[in-house]
Structure 1
C-alpha cells in the first residue's frame, strides 16, 4: 500500500503546480486585498521638510535662553518663507514647516509672549532639534517601502499614497471554478424533511470562506454522480485557473470525479494525504488549470481549503508567503497521542490557553461552526498536557 503523503509535502507539490497570475495596474483605492506584483519605492520624502511636532515658537537653539523677537508665523500649508536670524522667532503650529535658520521648537507651555517678544518660562527644549519632525524621518524619496508580494491592506495603501503613488501594479485575481458533486445533495432550504437528502452546505460555505481573498469564483452548482454530467461541467470549467471539486474524489463506485478528470485529460499529481481530517484530498492539473479535489465531509472540506486552497489562491495572486501562518500557543487541556496522520483539531480559546471542542468527527458541523482556531498536532505525537506549547492557526472566515 502506498504511503500517505505528508501535509507539508503535499502543499509544496500543490503550489509547484501553480503559476502567478498576470499583472494589472489598479487605482490605489481599488487595490485593497491584492498582492503587489512589483516592489514599490517612495516618490517623495515623508515628512517633505522639517516640520514642527508641537505648537510653539521656532528658534535657533544657539540663542537659548532668549528672549526672542517674533517676526512672523508658520502654519501647516502656509510656511513663513523667510530666514530666522539671531534672537528671532516665528510663531509655529503643529505640522508647519520649520523656517530657514531655525532648528528647535519652544513648546507653547514653556513660554510667555506679549505678541512681540517671547520669554522662556519653563525648562525649555534641552537640546537642538527638539520637537522637530526631520525631513525624511519616515522615508526618503527613492527608499524601498514595500517588496513585491506584499498584501495591500488599508495601512499599506495609506503608506503608498503618502509615498506619492496613485496606482498599484498587482497580480490579477485567479479565476476559480467550483463544482459540488453528489446525488444526495439539495440546494439550501430544499427537501429538509427527506432523510435521503443532505443540504449542500459546502459550496456556499466555501464561497464565504474565500470572500476575504482576491479570487473570482464561478459556481457551477451541484453536479450529479454521472460521468457525462461531470464531463460537461469540466469542459466549461477548464478555462479557469483553479478547479475545485467538493466530494466524490475517492474511488468508490459512486465517486466519479477522478474518473471524469482522467477522461478529460487531467493529470493527477497526488491523492490521499497523511492528514486528519482531510485524507482524501486530491490535486492535479487539467490543461492550464490547477485541480484541487476537496473531501465532502464539512470539516474535511473546510480544513483542507484552509490549508491548501487558500495558500494556492495566495500563490497565484502574488503572495510572497502564501501561508498558512501557524503561531505558538499554550495548551489548556490534555490531548491523546496521535496516530500516523497529522491532526487538525477544531479548538477555541479558554482562560488557560487553547482547548479542542467536542465533536471532532469530520462529518460534524457544529464544532466547526464554533471553532476559533485549528490545533495542529504532528503524526505519532505523544500525549500532550496542559501547559505544553503547540501550534495553532487562527480562523477568521
Structure 2
C-alpha cells in the first residue's frame, strides 16, 4: 500500500490540463480564471460625489456662509462649468465633481433660499469625494489566475470594462456504477438488491468543478458488459472516468482487469487510507481513471480526498486550506492507515470545536450525511483527548 500523500503526488503528476477558453462573464460563474483580469479603466473614471449635497470650494465654506448655486451635476449628466469663489453646484451621489470644487457637503447641513445656499459648518478639501481611481486604477491586476469567479469577482471584472474572461476548460467526468445487486432509486427491490446511490452523490460533488458529469448508469458484474461500457466511456475521451464497485479482489471484481484490457495503465491500487483501501488510479492518454470502492461512504470520502484534488489540478485551482480546531470529544488510537473520520463543527460558548461521529462503518451513509467535515488522523496516531488540536477537511 502507498500513502495518501504519495497517491496524491502520483495523481497530480499524471495531469495535463486542457488549453483555456474565452467565456462571457455571464457564463463564468463558478469557473476558474486561467488568466488574470486587469483593469481597462480607472474606477471611478472621474472624481465622484459620495452623497447628495453641494460641490463647493472648501475655502469658501464656514458656519453661516452663503454661496450661490450655479448649476446641477447628476449621475450621467455632469455640470459643464467651473465653480468659482462664492459659488456651489447641486450634486447627487455618483455624479462628477465639477472643476474648481474640492469638497462635497451633504444636503442635510444646508438651507436653501432660491439660488442661495446657507451652510451650517465648514469642511475640508476632499470631503465626501471619491477620487478618480479610488477603487482601482487602469492596469491594476484585479483578479489573479486560479481564482474562482464568484459573483463579486464577476461584478469587478465587468466594472473594469471586461465583457469576457479567460477560464480553465471545465473538465468532463464520466461515472459508471458496477454491481449485480444495484438498482436505480425508485425501483422495486428484489431479493438481495440495494438502491444505487454513489453516482448521485459523486455527480453532485463533481458538478461545481466540471463542465459536464455524465452518468453511464449501472453495469452488472459481467465482464463483457463491463468491457463494453468502460470501452465506450474511454473512447469519448473524458478528462476523468470514475467507476464505483468491483475494485477489490473477489471473484466478481472485474474492474481492474477490464480497465487494463481497455488500455488503461494502472499506476497504483490499494492506499493506506480509511475508509477506501481498494482504490485504483490509472490513465489512458489524457484521461484520469479512478476505480473507487463500492461502499457509499468509501466512495464519497475517497472521491473527496483523491478525485476532487485532481479536478482542481486540471483547472489550475488551489487546494482549500485545512483548518485546525480543538476536539470536543476524544478519538481513539489509529492503525497503519490514515483515517478520515466523519465529524461536525460546533460553536460552543468556550469556542469552536470539532466533534467526531463515532460511526466508522463504510456503508453507514446517514452518518456521513450528518458530517460537515472530516478529521484527518495520521497513520499510527496514538489518539487524541478533548481539547487537542486536529486537522480537518471541510465537506
Shift of residue 162 of structure 1?
Answer: 0.6
Please give the per-residue CA displacement for 1:167-204, whole angstroms capped at 9, x wherever unaligned: 1221222121211111221222334252x112111112
Q: Which residue is equivalent to 2:389?
A: 389
| Distance (whole Å) between structure 1 residues aligned to residue 102 and residue 54 of structure 2 | 11
Counterparts of 1:267-282 in structure 2, within 5 Å, are 267-282=265-280
- Aligned partners of 1:82, 1:388: CA distance in 2, in Å? 69
Which sits farther off after the overlay, 153-162 or 170-179?
Answer: 170-179
Asked if 1:94 corresponds to 2:93, the answer is: yes
| Range with bigger deviation, 185-194 or 96-105 | 185-194
Given that 1:307 and 1:324 are in contact with CA atoms closer than 8 Å, whether structure 2 keeps it comes out as: no
Q: Which range moves more in the overlay, 206-215 or 22-31? A: 206-215
Counterpart-to-counterpart distance in 2, 1:325 and 1:216 = 26
Counterpart Cα distance in 2 of 1:108 and 1:372: 51
> Alignment partner for residue 137 of structure 1, among 134, 137, 149?
134
Counterpart of 1:252?
Answer: 250
| CA deviation vs aligned residue, 1:285-344 (integer Å, no higher than 9, x gap) | 02321111111111111111112212222222x2331x2432222221111122222211
Matches within 5 A, 1:226-241: 226-238=222-234, 239-241=237-239
The residue that corresponds to 1:184 in the other structure is: 181
User: Do 2:34 and 2:167's aligned partners in 1 also have CA atoms closer than 8 Å?
Assistant: yes
Task: Please list every run of 5 or more consecutive structure 2 residues that lacks an aligned counterpart in the other structure.
Answer: none
TM-score, structure 1 as length reference: 0.93
SS of the residue aligned with 1:109? helix
Select between 374-383 and 138-147 the one with higher mean Cα deviation.
374-383
Structure 1 runs (4+) deviating above 6 angstroms are none
* C-alpha spacing 1:141/1:394, structure 2 compared with 1 (3 Å): same
- 3-state SS of the aligned residue for 1:204? helix
2:363 is matched with 363
- In structure 1, what is the equivalent of residue 240 of structure 2? 242
From 276, 285, 288, the equivalent of 2:286 is 288
Shift of 1:367: 0.1
Q: Quickly say closer, same or farther: Cα 1:60–1:9, change in 2 above 3 A.
A: farther
Unaligned 5+ segments in structure 1 are: none
Following superposition, the deviation at residue 376 of structure 1 comes to: 1.6
Deviations 1:143-177 (A, max 9, x none): 11112222112111111111101112212221212
Please name the residue that 1:159 is paired with.
156
Measured in 2, the distance between the counterparts of 1:198 and 1:89 equals 79
State the shift of 1:386 in Å. 2.0
- C-alpha distance in 1 between matches for 2:211 and 2:364: 28
Indicate which of 306, 309, 317 corresponds to 2:307.
Answer: 309
Distance (Å, rounded) in 1 between the aligned partners of 2:53 and 2:82: 17
> Which of 16, 25, 38 is the equivalent residue of 1:19?
16
Contact 1:33 / 1:214 at 8 angstroms: preserved in 2? no
